[in-house]
A and B are shown apart, each in its own frame.
Chain A
Amino acid sequence: MQEGTFFYRRQQCYSIPGKLPELDDYVIAGCRYGGPIALMRDQTKLLALGRSTPAITKAQIQVYSPAGEGLLIFSWDQSKIIRFGWTIDEQLAVLNEEGVYRLYDLQGEYQQHSLGTEAAELGIIDARIQDNGFVALTTSLTLLEVKGWEGSRPLTLANPGLTEPPHSWAVIPPDLNISRHVEVLLSVDATIHTVDNLESVDQRLSQGPFTHISPSPNGKSLALLAFSGTLLVVSSDFQRSFAEFDTLAVAGVQGPVKQVEWCGNDAILVTWTSLAVLVGPFGDTLHYTYSGSTFAITEIDGVRVLGEDVCDLIQKVPASTLSIFKPGSTSPSAILYDAWESFTKKSPKADESIRSIRPELAKAVDECIDAAGQEWEPHWQRRLLNAAKFGRGFLEFHNPTDFVHMGQTLKVLNAVRYYEIGIPLTYLQYNYASPSRLITRLTARNMHLLALRISGFLGLKPDTVLKHWACAKIMRSRPTTTGVGKDAELGGDEEVCRLIVKKFKEVGGVEVSYADIAKKAWEVGRGSLATKLLDHEPQGSDQVPLLLSMKEDKLALIKAVDSGDTDLVYHVLLHLHKRLPLGSFFRLLEEGGKALIPAGKLLEVYAREQNREMLRDFYYSDDRRVESAVLSLDEASRMLDQASKITAVKTAQKFFSEDKDRSFEAKMTDESARLLVFQQQLESEANGKIKFFGLTVNETIRTCLLNGLSKRADKIKSDFKVPDKRFWYIKLHALTESRDFEGLEGFAKSKRSPIGYEAFVHHLVEKGYPKEAVPYVSKCDSPKRADLFVKCGEWRMAGIECKERNDKAKLDELRKRAPNSLIARELDQIATTMK
């Protein structure tokens, strides 16, 4: 299989004579990573009625393993299927023209999602399904992208502005793009449009239109087949062209090209009926003939071809294999292998050979191990591993991990490649998709024992296998019908539950979520089994959704609260609020006792923002007077209308007065309401020129004073029993603010100040009226007067004060602090007069 310096090989995986129907008559979708194929009869093809082919009117999809074993057959009862394809999880996605798509697992269980009503009205004419989502083409020639398989909302991509359906199209999946967004390639006229969610770009090609567009597995290159039969290979950004090849020039071609598929990332397989041509990177070819039609499936490291009687894997010969087995190879690994062969033949040449590659022995060993992984036949695997082992013996330090790991992996691979299992997985694919995925694939085929053994062998946790097994068990076991009515069913449930729990204990998979299994049981209508299983679930939070759907409301709420996840509590609350009548909803919370207090609190938080009416009812139904009152006050604070505000405050007052412990609060709200009424009166007296409404008592007094309504201020003082001290401060501040110093003087003299006169001095100075402050200094305690005078800037008077009190020390201190010489001299003078 030599072609220049590149080598390709065809490896027969399975021989499947007569197991598959005539492929030409079917629409086929193949699953990557050695997965199964799905077939549906091609409605466009004529079908000869006869005894051998049963007449099927309904659409029917059949699934075969690569080894030709029938895995599943199901019929489709919905409107016309547009396309079907495989997801990364080996589920078959089937999309119909109404935008409804189902995901079938290998047991025929499915989930159904829809693209939405808009898409249903328009209708879907085509789709491209890839590992993690698909892109659908509507009749209005717009593109809808669905990400993932959880039924997420479709995203409309940029409008490509088509007038007719593209000749062909393809999708580069998001994870292969630099932009991390899906890219759609549409063949329009002679060119190709690339479309993502932002824009549609014309790539300005001229060789089109194209019948086939095929992106390589790594998304970096594209294979384009033009109507003219020219195969173009370009980079996916259309910047570089790698190769051009004329398919019409291939000898022995009959009919149109069926498929253009990539073989790994560097060669392209073009198939016709009964012929497959591998086109290498430089336009060189290899021909493979098949009897009858074929179907090719691109893999990351090759291409799988299903013929009528074989399943082949065509791939580039891996470097390590090449280096060992290439004719005339003198690489260290080839010599090592040769040495080992000599050794088994007991030839002394072995020693010589080993010696000759001593420095590179480690590399040679590694290469042999790697090559073993590339082999399909256990025979060759063993030989290569033996060679590696032999070489290892001559090495002092060599990490055995790779060797051991390869041995383990090959055991697993050989096991799953066995035709009854039928997963022709290569070493590269296995590593790419991870062992745990292999386990899920096995469980999806209901091969629980093998899956369990493999996961045990690889040291993986048995959880997933056990879980799947339990679900399958529940599905399969029907409640026993012996016995009469309910008792019989209970007996059956008991049995299943016991079996499952026992198995889990045996295997040690204690961390399996019973809730998930219980959910399954509930879904298949076995409520009592679900309850039983749920009892074994240690994680409260996992029980909640199921409990809710089982209408175990109180239990669900308790578990949710216990989980500490407030969002879960909300989930339950909102769900129940929707479902239950308000009365019983409240009763549930009220009767829940201590365990449900947090839930009640959360409901309050939610209702305060979103549904006050409900909150009022809630408080009312629970006789929570104080909360009702506070709610009413809160509403009052938001009201703008004076009358309704007063009413709301009065309502609050009423609530408070109904609780005997809240007499103080009742009194206060009463005061508050009285104040509001009084303020209304004040405003009307002032003809609305002065704003009073909503002010505090202090501010009301102040506003009265500022506006010369001192009688009114006095009335508030007596009505609201404002203490003298506070009143004096307010008045001091107000009079200072209005610069009514005469009034202030009169006020100061009206009676003995309850706040002393220092406060007067301090406040006046602070507000910038030191002169006006001076008269009050003499009313203060004599020892402080000197300092207060200084504060007013009256140094001389301070000095005189000192003199009067005969306080020499103080005077000296003042002299030291004197701000300028003038004052200093004055103070000195006073000092001299003292004695």
Chain B
Amino acid sequence: MASGDQGTSSPTDSALDVNILKEIAKKDLVDALNSVSGAKTLVLDASLAGPLGLVTVVSLLKGQHHGVDKMFWLESGPLTSSTANIVYICRPRISHVKVIADHIKRHAKESRKHNYTVLLVPRISTVVSRILEEEGVLGDVTISSYNLQFIPISEDVISLEHENTFRELWVDGDETVIFDSAQALLTIQRLYGPFPQIIGKGDYAQRLATLLTRQNSKATSTSSPDRRQSPTSKIDSLIILDRRVDMITPLLTQLTYEGLVDELIGIKNSHVELPLSLLNPPTTGPTNAASTSTPANSTATPIPVVAVKKDTKKKHHLTTATDPLFAELRDLNFSSVGKKLNKVARRLDEDYKTNLQTKTVAQLRDFVGKLGGLQTEHQALRLHTGLSELIVPLTRTEIFNKSLEIQQNLLASYEITAQLNAIEDLIAQGAEMQIVLRLLCLASLTAGGVKVKNLESIKREILQAYGYEYLPLLLSLGVPSLGMLLPNPLPPSTSSSSSALKYPFASLRKSLRLLIDDNPEALDEVENDISFVYSGYAPISIRLVQCIAQKGGVISNPAEKEKTGNEASNSAEQRLTFGKVQAHPIVGWKGFEDVVATIPGQTVEIIQKPSNKVTPSGPLAAVAKSTGGGSKKKLSVFNKFMQREMTRLKETEPDMAHKDRFKLATTNWKTSKENPKVT
């Protein structure tokens, strides 16, 4: 499921200060821990380690301050604790509770007495107490909760960091996460004011919106009258997209820098696991063991937290806060990352060199002042160069390229039978199952199902090659609620409801302008359009957000539009929005009702309060966030500058080649006053 919210960003101040959320989460954690007095042993659900790591440095909890003596992962097997208090922090999963019950029973058998506290995330659950009761240990446990809600994972992206959501919703039918999301969104409303509008698409989006509005009426009724807030200017609208609306995008291979790191190395809770040699300054010829680095996640390994740092790999937090270079790189198409790195390297080199020529003491002082910055940049550069070197060989493999080719062909609905055969070849060659399944589902979704004969033969291939135990998985992919892998035509016995779930990809491709031709003339267009992230394919979810907030961007080529826009007006206001499709006050799905109606699932459009006329006060930047798949971030200062600069240059130097213009623009960036490094 993906939900998105959208904030305004006026030219002067950045959107919402989501760091408050982090502070709240941190404080709640500390409070929860302090509610148990004295020294305690902390037992942590491994799946929470990542999210908690984004909120606070988990190891800091140790020591006197919060009384945490030792930390362990929550795992079956004996637990030895020297402290009287044992605190468990976990999600309310049945398996976890059983482990806890087992610990308590073991301790009782060894007649060791402890005080047990279970902090459930995000709230107390009846099932947990029931199971503890069935295990006969309910009386020994104090159950409490730690309400961990949205975690900011970037300055413009917040997430619940809830694992397995997709499976829970669409396979198990467990809607807990919807309720939790509604609760978390209520918190957001309390912090930033109510959402004037809720716009969305998909059945679960509808469910979430209903819960939210219902709880809203409850929330306002309990607050005293003077607290009744007026519609705020902080948030224009909440956009909820349920993952069912766009199953296609996560099946494709992400092609941005960050996307590829995720595909090939694996990013989890904003952390990536890297060879130690990449992270520590003294590097010795890194990348030969590259091809063997698989995304092994040591979070699952049942060892004390302290021991995570063992072996040669280390988790690294990929964040733009400490790594400005990453901010520039993360959303670049991988093809241009090399160039970018090269440029930064050269600039760094020059910076170091100019400093050699310092003559006066004042100059020297300036240099020393800058030295720290240069070194962190140097360090970042080394990291990202190393990371790219890790990735490049992986992108050169035959299977990787073959699968890209199949993806592109399927998106264009080009020779589907040939693509199916190609998928079969991939199985024969022993490609990873995940790649094969993604392609197969993609084929089913884009073509509205796969011919029964072909489908069965491929399924059979998969079962034989990867094991018959995957039969339930294949069945799950085909259940009506998911419908990712369907036969064509559908068997007559299936109800009409599931046939209505067929995804109208072919018509969307046209109406939402999903595919951009990669002919040379369109190159410009690709640069300005979101489709650059998949080298020519625009994610449906992003297009849907554009349908709401940037209608122009869906209909036509932003670059062209820009030209006419510039001619029309040259005011300062206009200048600020160069290079970008002008966003507009949000009026729901207006103009795209027909398109949206063809997508299966309910359409949501709720106005929470009679909104004050929202006046367009500058460009609105869409911040879309998805818990399911990749995410699209707001443009960085640099991106904005470049877009603006490019259009300006296009005007002033119409004869210049695109490449040169780009070069000139980047040179200007160096001296631009918007550049945070130029002060």
Interface size on A, residues (CB 8 A): 59
Task: Give B117 Cβ to nearest chain A Cβ, in Å.
Answer: 12
Which residues 261-289 in B have Cβ within 8 Å of A in the complex? none
Which residues 287-336 in B have Cβ within 8 Å of A in the complex? none
Task: Give A132 Cβ to nearest chain B Cβ, in Å.
Answer: 15
Q: Pick the contact of B126: A571, A598, A634 (CB < 8 A).
A: A571
Complex alpha-carbon distance, A722 and B428, angstroms: 10
Complex alpha-carbon distance, A276 and B663, angstroms: 92
A539 and B218: CB pair below 8 A?
yes
Task: Give B227 Cβ to nearest chain A Cβ, in Å.
Answer: 11
A570 and B465: CB pair below 8 A?
no
Q: Pick the contact of A570: B125, B398, B427, B471 (CB < 8 A).
A: B125
Residue-wise interface mask of A (153-179) relative to B, using a CB-CB cutoff of 8 A (1 in contact, 0 not): 100000000000000000000000001
Contact status of A726 and B126, CB under 8 A, knowing A597-B173, A630-B472, A664-B456: no
A686 within 8 A of B: no
Q: Which residues of A contact B466 (CB under 8 A)?
A: 696, 698
Q: Please, which residue of chain B has its CB at the minimum distance from the CB of A726?
A: B428
Complex alpha-carbon distance, A284 and B464, angstroms: 96
A630 and B475: CB pair below 8 A?
yes
Interface size on B, residues (CB 8 A): 57
Task: Give B232 Cβ to nearest chain A Cβ, in Å.
Answer: 23
Q: Please, which residue of chain B has its CB at the minimum distance from the CB of A649?
A: B468
Task: Give B130 Cβ to nearest chain A Cβ, in Å.
Answer: 5
Complex alpha-carbon distance, A634 and B472, angstroms: 8
Q: Pick the contact of A698: B34, B124, B464 (CB < 8 A).
A: B464
Q: Which residues of A contact B126 (CB under 8 A)?
A: 567-568, 570-571, 574
B127 and A726: CB pair below 8 A?
no
B491 within 8 A of A: yes
Complex alpha-carbon distance, A833 and B94, angstroms: 78
A609 within 8 A of B: yes
A793 within 8 A of B: no
Which residues 654-707 in A have Cβ within 8 Å of B in the complex? 660-661, 664-665, 668-669, 671-672, 675, 696-698
B369 within 8 A of A: no
Which residues 530-568 in A have Cβ within 8 Å of B in the complex? 539, 564-568
Q: Please, which residue of chain A has its CB at the minimum distance from the CB of B466?
A: A696
Q: Which of the segments B176-184, B549-557, B600-608 contacts the partner chain?
A: B176-184
Q: Pick the contact of A733: B124, B172, B225, B430 (CB < 8 A).
A: B430
Which residues 565-582 in A have Cβ within 8 Å of B in the complex? 565-568, 570-571, 574
Q: Pick the contact of B493: A179, A637, A661 (CB < 8 A).
A: A661
B471 and A665: CB pair below 8 A?
yes
A762 within 8 A of B: yes
Complex alpha-carbon distance, A181 and B38, angstroms: 11
Q: Pick the contact of B211: A181, A461, A564, A574 (CB < 8 A).
A: A564
Q: Which residues of A contact B460 (CB under 8 A)?
A: 668
A726 and B427: CB pair below 8 A?
yes
B398 and A720: CB pair below 8 A?
no
Q: Which residues of B contact A668 (CB under 8 A)?
A: 459-460, 463, 468, 471
Residue-wise interface mask of A (455-468) relative to B, using a CB-CB cutoff of 8 A (1 in contact, 0 not): 00001110000000
Complex alpha-carbon distance, A511 and B219, angstroms: 11
Q: Which residues of A contact B468 (CB under 8 A)?
A: 649, 668-669, 671-672, 675, 696
Q: Pick the contact of B464: A180, A602, A696 (CB < 8 A).
A: A696
Interface-central residue, B207, B225, B428, by most chain A CB under 10 Å: B428
B123 and A197: CB pair below 8 A?
no
Q: Please, which residue of chain A has its CB at the minimum distance from the CB of B180?
A: A566
Complex alpha-carbon distance, A697 and B465, angstroms: 6
B95 within 8 A of A: yes
Task: Give B250 Cβ to nearest chain A Cβ, in Å.
Answer: 23
Q: Which residues of B contact A729 (CB under 8 A)?
A: 428-430
A610 within 8 A of B: yes
Q: Which residues of B contact A633 (CB under 8 A)?
A: 469, 471-472
Q: Please, which residue of chain A has its CB at the minimum distance from the CB of B39?
A: A198
Task: Give A26 Cβ to nearest chain B Cβ, in Å.
Answer: 39
Residue-wise interface mask of B (473-514) relative to A, using a CB-CB cutoff of 8 A (1 in contact, 0 not): 001000000000000000101100000000000000000000
Task: Give B557 Cβ to nearest chain A Cβ, in Å.
Answer: 39
Contact status of A598 and B472, CB under 8 A, knowing A564-B182, A564-B211, A697-B464: no
**Listed A/B pairs (15) with beta-carbon separation below 8 Å:** A197-B37, A459-B226, A567-B125, A597-B173, A601-B173, A604-B172, A630-B472, A661-B493, A671-B464, A696-B467, A697-B464, A722-B464, A725-B425, A726-B428, A733-B430
By a beta-carbon cutoff of 8 Å, the part of chain A in contact with chain B is 153, 179-181, 196-198, 459-461, 511, 539, 564-568, 570-571, 574, 597-598, 601-602, 604-606, 609-610, 626, 630, 633-634, 637, 649, 660-661, 664-665, 668-669, 671-672, 675, 696-698, 720, 722-723, 725-726, 728-730, 733, 755, 759, 762
Instruction: Contacts A668-B463, A671-B464, A697-B464 known; list 6 others, CB within 8 Å.
Output: A153-B142, A198-B37, A564-B207, A566-B179, A610-B94, A626-B475
